[in-house]
Amino acid sequence: MVDTAHRTTTKNSGERAATVPAKPANDEVAAPVPAPPAAEAPDSPKVDVAALGRQLLGTWADIRIAARERAAHPDLQRIEGQPMAEHRERVLKQLKILVDQGAVHRAFPKELGGLDDHGGNIAAFEELVIADPSLQIKSGVQWGLFGAAVLHLGTEYHHRTWLPGIMSLEVPGAFAMTETGHGSDVAAIGTTATYDEATQEFVIDTPFRGAWKDYLGNAALHGIAAVVFAQLITKGVNHGVHAFYVPLRDGDGAFLPGIGGEDDGLKGGLNGIDNGRLHFTNVRVPRENLLNRYGDVAPDGTYSSPIPSPGRRFFTMLGTLVQGRVSLDGAATAAAAVALTIAITYGNQRRQFNAASDTDEEVLLDYQRHQRRLLPKLATTYAQTFAHDEFLLKFDAVFSGRADTDDDRQDLETIAAALKPLSTWHALETLQEAREATGGAGFLAENRIVGLRQDLDIYATFEGDNNVLLQLVAKRLLTDYSKQFAKADAGAMARYVVAQTADRAYHGTGLRRLAQTIADFGSTARSVSELRDTNTQRELLTDRVETMVADIAGRLRDARKLPKADAAAAFNRNQNELIEAARAHAELLQWEAFTRGLEQTSDPGTRQVLTWLRDLFGLGLVEKHLAWYLIHGRLSPQRAQAVTAYIDRLLERLRPHAQDLVDAFGYTPEHLRAKIASGAEQERQDEARAYYAAKRAAGTLPVPEKSKK
């Protein structure tokens, strides 16, 4: 089973306070009546917000702080409601600001002015989502895709020739992989690059409409070159997908001969990016324009590669571009944190309904349902934050060369395919819940949530459709499983599947004390005590993954012996369960990362609160999949009830600490740019309460009609 990299000691030290100050109340009506803080028990733990904030910043804390200071500058921020054409030009100018500030060269080689710092580069890049997701993605297109393809797929000649112009933005470029007819299935793209021995050139063609390159950032207006992915054909043999550097436009911005394109126009979000389509008809580029790190063509047309297997070569080339998925995981987590900071801050101030008082309305976050809506998503965001830092450490180790074996790269690709779907889905769900939890105010563009929701919508499908990525994870899990049982006969496999309740593949220890098939008449307190145990949560989550994988593997064991069509049908019948198993695996990775982060928290009060938050995340996963645990006998009905009962108790315990937990994300009003999280709502509420208090004190408050009956 693939696991994330172990956490290491944070490289940077120091403290950073993170609070969202409230404005003073309006003095014109009467003395303010401040909102009381959420009730705390006398012995309630305290959160060290500054220290927790530093921990959440992760391994590259100082780099993130500097990037956030940059993102707080108005020149780099989105203007809500700006027309598409103006937004596009504004984002292009913002890219030039990033170049002038030296903010985008960290991952490039030192000899070209970079820092060879791959992890720090991604950490800084992710923070741009706070300023404007269009800026983040357009800079990602320029330096994380276009530039990175030249860096990682090219050789020294390509680096010297093209990287300086890419780094300086003298050459804006596109990453031309996706086609109208093929998105996630890159191996099946239709564009061809056929080698002409007579002229020592490659001829680039899009032979049909579905082969047009589509949805490409910088393609509609700004790009003057592209890295084009095409089927490399030489001497009548197709050697699979390779990358080529192809000039697109002349100095006046007109397409070069044989190249055409269209503007994708207005989109559902990210309209600061000039997405467009490209097509090629007999476009010739020199042989040297093949980015030939993993495959080369000699002048006479002879093909060679250091990787003999076409399949492994293809996945190796795509694996070098995994940083897109890494950065989306981090950016989506940041967007969820921003949304929760806005919604929880608002929920701590906004009042509605007289539930417990004849005079004062209740703060929204005091309602259990409001807590149920937001606090579990806060727990998941924390889990993702810890998991992402480990993910980034793994990425940095691979790309720095410290841990760059074939297994390391495969692990990195699998982790990316596991975490990116969960974090991007979670961001969309959280933004939607935050919008609803803030009512009509959340629907106003000035409060950021709807704009972020629109921009992050596409995160679920670019850099790999989420369901397709999880299918890749499932295949890796099956491969690892099959290696473990490669020599097992059918009888051994059958016995293994039957024994899943008590014996598990990877750890060999069972859940006998939890796998009850008869009524459990023990106390709820005893059930809760076991459920909040770290090892019990780990066993519950791990067992689900392993049982699902084993069950599917048993059904597919003989599929390889079937004719191709029958094997495909067998796989298709299990596709949904495969994806669910992969999702369960990714959830386990996040829980494990959260637990390791918790273990590194030294302050007792913070550690206690984070333990509750981790338990909320872990038991929330159990509750979400409760039907599975009941059907498979992992939990008795009474303990299933105890899961929900304890989650409700955790919400009560976490309620007083909710503001501290979002303040620890470290976003200032300049980052949030949401009026409802700026203190304005608190000012309105204090003004209203002071008004009614003054009326009551003066005896001038009208008497309600129903009190006279």
Domains of the chain: which residue ranges? 175-319, 475-653
pTM: 0.89
User: 188: which residues sit within 8 A by CB, 6+ positions away?
Assistant: 182
Of 6-15, 124-133, 248-257, 508-517, the one with minimum mean pLDDT is 508-517
The answer on pLDDT for 609 being more than 70 is yes
Which pLDDT score is estimated for 486?
Answer: 55
- pLDDT of 203-230, one tens digit each? 999 999 999 999 999 999 999 999 999 9
Q: Provide the percentage of residues in the chain whose pLDDT is more than 70.
A: 87
Name the fold adopted by 175-319: Butyryl-CoA Dehydrogenase, subunit A; domain 2 (2.40.110)
- pLDDT of 261-279, one tens digit each? 999 999 999 999 999 999 9
Which of the pair, 517 or 152, is modelled with greater confidence?
Answer: 152
Of 225-229, 240-244, 618-622, 685-689, the one with minimum mean pLDDT is 685-689
**Token pair belonging to 493:** 């496999």
- pLDDT of 442-465, one tens digit each? 999 999 999 999 999 999 998 889
User: What is the three-class DSSP state of 183?
Assistant: coil
DSSP conformation letters of 196-239 = ETTTTEEEEE--SGGGSEEEETTTTTT-SEEEEEEEEEETTEEE
- pLDDT of 401-446, one tens digit each? 999 888 899 999 999 999 999 999 999 999 999 999 999 999 999 9
User: 483: which residues sit within 8 A by CB, 6+ positions away?
Assistant: none
Longest CA–CA separation in the chain, Å? 101
Instruction: Tell me the one-letter amino acid at 80.
Output: E
State the first-to-last Cα distance of the chain, in angstroms, to the nearest integer.
70
Which pLDDT score is estimated for 63?
Answer: 97
- pLDDT of 611-620, one tens digit each? 999 999 999 9
pLDDT confidence of 556, banded at 50, 70, 90? Answer: confident
CATH 3.30.460.10 for domain 475-653, yes or no, is: no
- Does the CA dihedral 141-145-146-151 come out positive or negative? positive
Strands 225-234 and 237-247: antiparallel
The answer on pLDDT for 503 being more than 70 is no
User: 561: which residues sit within 8 A by CB, 6+ positions away?
Assistant: none
Distance CA 48, CA 668 (A): 17
Strands 296-297 and 237-247: unpaired
pLDDT confidence of 19, banded at 50, 70, 90? Answer: very low
Contact between 23 and 681 under an 8 Å Cβ cutoff? The reply is no
Angle at the Cα of 56 (from 50 to 61), degrees rounded to 5? 85
Which of the pair, 511 or 396, is modelled with greater confidence?
Answer: 396
**Token pair belonging to 703:** 């008497």
Least Cα distance to 348 among 613, 20, 52 occurs for 20
DSSP state of 34: P
Looking at 557-655, list the stretches that DSSP marks H as alpha helix, in order from N- to C-terminal side: 564-573, 575-599, 604-624, 626-631, 637-654
Least Cα distance to 255 among 263, 244, 266 occurs for 263
User: What is the three-class DSSP state of 264?
Assistant: coil
Contact between 326 and 122 under an 8 Å Cβ cutoff? The reply is yes
Distance CA 328, CA 315 (A): 20
- pLDDT of 157-181, one tens digit each? 999 999 999 999 999 999 999 999 9
Angle at the Cα of 131 (from 333 to 57), degrees rounded to 5? 45
422 burial type by CB count under 10 A (0-12 exposed, 13-18 middle, 19+ buried): buried
Which of the pair, 210 or 687, is modelled with greater confidence?
Answer: 210
Distance CA 25, CA 30 (A): 9
Which pLDDT score is estimated for 375?
Answer: 98
The answer on pLDDT for 282 being more than 80 is yes
Contact between 482 and 493 under an 8 Å Cβ cutoff? The reply is no
354 burial type by CB count under 10 A (0-12 exposed, 13-18 middle, 19+ buried): exposed
The CA distances from residue 501 to 360, 488, 531, 540, 625, in Å, are 53, 20, 17, 11, 16
Which letter, b or e, does each residue of 306-324 get, where b requires 16 or more Cβ atoms within 10 Å of its Cβ?
Answer: eeeeeeebbbbbbbbbbbb
The answer on pLDDT for 624 being more than 60 is yes
36 burial type by CB count under 10 A (0-12 exposed, 13-18 middle, 19+ buried): exposed
Of 73-82, 309-318, 358-367, 501-510, the one with minimum mean pLDDT is 501-510
